[in-house]
Amino acid sequence: MTPRPWRRILSYLGPHRWILLLTAVATALVAALDAFSVVLLIPFLSTVFDDGTGARAEPDLVDRALELSVGRFVELDGEPQSVVAGVIVFIVVVVACKSAFDFVRSYLAARVEQGVTRDLRRSVYGHLLALDLGFFGRMRTGQIVSRLTHDVEQLRTLVTSELIKSLKSALEFAAAVCLMVAISFQLTVAAFVVIPLTMVIWGPLVRRLRRGDRAVLNTAGEVGAHIQETVAGIRMVKSAGGERHERERFRSLTGRYFDTFLRTVRLRALAGPITELFVALGTGILLWYGARMVVIDGALTGERFIAFIFLSTKLYAPVKYLSKLPALIQPGLVGAERVFEFLDAPAESHGRDGTETFTGVRDGIRYRDVRLEYRKGDPVLRDVSFDVPAGSVVALVGPSGAGKTSIVDLLGRFYEPAAGSIEIDGTDIGDFSLASLRAGLGVVSQDTVLFHDTVCANIAYGMGDAPMERIEEAARIAFAHEFVQELPEGYDTVVGERGATLSGGQRQRIAIARAILRDPPVLVLDEATSALDTESERLVQEAVGRLLAGRTVFVIAHRLSTIQRADLIVVVDGGRVVQRGSHESLMEEGGLYRRLRELQFR
């Protein structure tokens, strides 16, 4: 990856830099004490196997370090049994200190890891809520979920787990190498003769791994998207007898994922054997050259050679991990790229956020030559103009895809018009603060949205700590109070995902109670009763009638029988307003409205 993405990845560690620094200090102490505990074998072995005939060499760095540490508590030239006992006790103390610092390191590392995970999830989820509706139209839900779960987890592993492991391995490696150099520089050089060969092999392997990991994540997203899509439409699947078709689609997707994953695993699995081969080769060179230095050249004592061999074994774990690191971090790097693609998606653009507070409609709402483009140069609405007097009911009518919902979405500034304007009482809606504008807009749709929460929380959604008295009053007005009281836990009953434990009519009445509690001056009804049985429709219609009083209402009409008493009917076709007027005038005029009505009642 280029330096910029790496800086972006590491930026998540910024708020935790002091804890990370303490983690590094604790890790360095663990590595140093672990390596030093091996060096303590030198006085132990020297005492146990010394026959008194060997000549003492000039003290070097290792001897001075031992004298300054062990020598302050143990007389190294004293009686052998006392020296052995003292060195053993000192080794135990050093290991105990190492274990204490290792505990601190583990705790601090976990704190950094969970802190970064928390911040990362908040950042990604916060950006998700800020994205415009167009993004959710372009991106499959399963892919969004995959990036928020699987890809974020991959990035978290890269930023925290792999980073801390690599820091630990690097410090362990450095501590062991420093002491190995202090014992014998020539033998240390011999131990590293095979490392350049490893780098030559890893370069092409890492590039192929990166391509493979991206393919795996993309395919995993498609599998998740298919599952989500099937579960959401399971009623349709069963009613159409599409189980076999969906099984075959899923079999094909999972088969592709299986093949892609195994190709990548085969590449990654080469890391272990390659590392083991080079470790064995390096160990062979080390043993041959070290034995020569001890037996033939006399340049190294036996106890130092043994200590050096033990130190070299301390290199195996970090070298093995660091050599596999390029392969291990590839899923995290690819996950980071996909998460950053998500974070770089433009947030909802409102052009400007005004300072005026929207409190209601006194005169009326005016659409003036409004043009809307989801993609530049491809208009969805063209020159839309009409007036809605305050307190009136306007019905938007037209074929599917004509642009009815887009007209209402503009009023809530879910999209910004490419041209023209929308005014409320002569004030452009861009001059109102977005929060107050949307707070004054209530929506009751055919596809009722309820969350996996209590009835009370769903009615009061977005209202903060609304008093229970007001919640119950809203439920009574919406004819919902009676059935809510009959639920197992009343208003504290959890309704399930999308209100699955309630009937369609009950869900609609909960949604109407929510709108009543918000008391919005502008109301949008998206054919709220079209999917209900007769009894539920009657109750919901009565509740809607109560809700309409004193409000300016937009009705997105699919069944034309429901909008005959609308004050204004706006007929939309191909993104243009082609007719407007009352039901009677439009029937007399003929045109699209009359044709649509005749088609429905033929």
Domains delineated in the chain: 3-343 (1.20.1560.10), 352-440+520-602 (3.40.50.300), 449-513 (no CATH)
**Rounded CA separation 485/109 (Å):** 50
Listed residue (561, 558, 566, 573) closest to 601, CA to CA:
561
User: What percent of the chain has a predicted confidence (pLDDT) above 90?
Assistant: 1
429: left (phi over 0), alpha (psi -120 to 50) or beta: alpha
Higher pLDDT, 477 or 348: 477
For residues 361-374, give the mean pLDDT: 86
Quick one: pLDDT at residue 75?
A: 65
User: Backbone phi, then psi, for 378, in 5-degree steps?
Assistant: -125, 80
Indicate the average pLDDT of the chain.
Answer: 75
For residues 99-107, give the mean pLDDT: 89
Sheet holding 419-424, edge to edge: 378-389, 364-375, 419-424, 427-428
What's the token pair of residue 89? Answer: 């006790």
- Please give the C-alpha separations between residue 99 and each of 29, 96, 102, 289, in angstroms, as whole numbers: 10, 5, 5, 34
Instruction: Determine the 3-state secondary structure of 242 from DSSP.
Output: coil
Tens digits of residue pLDDT in 19-55: 888 988 988 888 888 877 777 777 766 665 554 444 4
* Sign, CA torsion 593/595/596/597: positive
Residue 463 burial (CB < 10 Å; 0-12/13-18/19+)?
A: middle
The full DSSP string for 492-524 is: G-B--GGGTTS-HHHHHHHHHHHHHHH--SEEE
Q: Which residues contact 155 (CB under 8 A, 6 or more apart)?
A: 9, 120, 332, 335, 336, 339
Quick one: pLDDT at residue 55?
A: 42
The distance of Cα 244 from the centroid of its chain, to the nearest Å, equals 33
How many beta carbons lie within 10 A of that of residue 553, not counting itself? 21
Which of these ranges, 38-52, 334-348, 416-430, has the smallest mean pLDDT?
38-52
**Rounded CA separation 328/480 (Å):** 56
The distance of Cα 369 from the centroid of its chain, to the nearest Å, equals 41
Tens digits of residue pLDDT in 112-169: 888 887 887 888 777 777 776 666 666 666 667 777 777 777 777 776 677 777 888 8
pLDDT-based confidence at 560, cuts 50/70/90? low
- Residue corresponding to tokens 């009574």: 476
**Rounded CA separation 453/289 (Å):** 71
Which range of 278-287, 442-451, 488-497 scores highest in mean pLDDT? It is: 488-497
421: left (phi over 0), alpha (psi -120 to 50) or beta: beta
Give the burial string for 244-258 (b: 16+ CB within 10 Å, else e): eebeeeeeebeeebe
Quick one: pLDDT at residue 134?
A: 65
**Rounded CA separation 92/101 (Å):** 14
- Residue corresponding to tokens 């490893």: 198
Tens digits of residue pLDDT in 222-250: 777 777 667 666 656 665 566 777 778 78
**Rounded CA separation 374/93 (Å):** 70
**Extended beta strands in 92-139, E state:** none
Contact 220, 250 (CB under 8 A): no
Residue 52 burial (CB < 10 Å; 0-12/13-18/19+)?
A: exposed
Quick one: pLDDT at residue 529?
A: 53
Quick one: pLDDT at residue 384?
A: 86
Quick one: pLDDT at residue 3?
A: 46
Tens digits of residue pLDDT in 495-539: 777 777 777 777 878 888 887 787 788 888 776 555 445 555 566
pLDDT-based confidence at 410, cuts 50/70/90? confident
The distance of Cα 249 from the centroid of its chain, to the nearest Å, equals 27
**Extended beta strands in 183-261, E state:** none
- Which amino acid is located at 165 in the chain? K
**Rounded CA separation 127/343 (Å):** 7
For residues 267-292, give the mean pLDDT: 72
Quick one: pLDDT at residue 385?
A: 87
Quick one: pLDDT at residue 1?
A: 46
**Rounded CA separation 110/198 (Å):** 32
Contact 124, 148 (CB under 8 A): yes
**Rounded CA separation 498/448 (Å):** 8
For residues 425-441, give the mean pLDDT: 83
Contact 116, 153 (CB under 8 A): no
